Structure 1
């Protein structure tokens, strides 16, 4: 069986690398002192899991896992009355799309490695833009991408 936690931690780390901002798992990310960080940041939610890839090669050692990443814009630090904007939310989402980016030279695989833990490999990644929201009272805007990862046990 493929464990979910290493996959989640791998996707969380990849999104942090690609966006350059913190990624919280189901909640606002915290700083080193344990305080919530101000936006921009990303919220990562584990969603569905299915242990059948639906392929002829599926030998019971596979899993398909879904995630939602919510890219949260926010006010500019130290700038009174600033607001998070659509441009910032889309910029973050553009970085999030790099999870499924292919190498520029046409070689197989993905441009950015995803570590899903020992004993498993992610052989296919999909992404779907799922819209976004705005929260005027908090001066934030979001963009949402849903990821589907196809995993296979290696050991």
Structure 2
């Protein structure tokens, strides 16, 4: 059985490293113990699906979905961070390999897809722009 918390942490680290901006898990990220200033991203776990072997079998495939909220001070900044997040998760090199591997002991991420790209939502009263993206990650036991 895939450990969801490990997938969440691997994706959080991938986004933070590849975008160069803080990423929180379900909440505003902290930088040096203080709330991060925009731009930053927040990931949220969405439904988990299992496919293949019976639930009691440890060799089933798993599909995880995550929502990434890119938070910024301007429309352009939100789109910039969303572009970096999409490239971080979905980007491939000329050989077809992922630019940023998602590593999880005992599991291989064989598929990545864009489930939703909702675009930016400006909130002039809050001086914050939020851009929502959802990713589907497909996993199979390694080896």
TM-score by length of structure 1 reads: 0.82
Radius of gyration: which is bigger?
1
**Cα distance, 1:134 vs structure 2:** 2.0
**Cα distance, 1:3 vs structure 2:** 0.8
**Cα distance, 1:132 vs structure 2:** 3.0
Aligned counterpart, 2:136: 148
The answer as to whether partners of 2:79 and 2:120 remain within 8 angstroms in 1 is no
Q: Which runs of 5+ in 1 are unaligned?
A: 53-57, 74-83
Aligned counterpart, 1:125: 112
Q: Which SS does the other structure have where 1:27 is aligned?
A: coil
Q: Which runs of 5+ in 2 are unaligned?
A: 54-58
Q: Which SS does the other structure have where 1:111 is aligned?
A: coil
The answer as to whether partners of 2:112 and 2:138 remain within 8 angstroms in 1 is yes
**Cα distance, 1:101 vs structure 2:** 1.0
Question: Per-residue displacement from partner, 1:74-97 (whole Å, max 9, x unpaired)?
Answer: xxxxxxxxxx21110000000011
Matched, 1:96 2:90: no
Correspondence 1:4-153 to 2 at 5 A: 4-32=4-32, 34-52=33-51, 58-59=52-53, 60-73=59-72, 84-98=73-87, 99-103=89-93, 105=94, 107-115=95-103, 117-127=104-114, 128-153=116-141
TM-score by length of structure 2 reads: 0.88
Task: Please provide the CA RMSD for this pair.
Answer: 1.4
Question: Per-residue displacement from partner, 1:94-129 (whole Å, max 9, x unpaired)?
Answer: 0011111121x2x233122112x2111100000131
Question: Per-residue displacement from partner, 1:45-70 (whole Å, max 9, x unpaired)?
Answer: 01010011xxxxx3452100000000
Q: Which SS does the other structure have where 2:38 is aligned?
A: coil
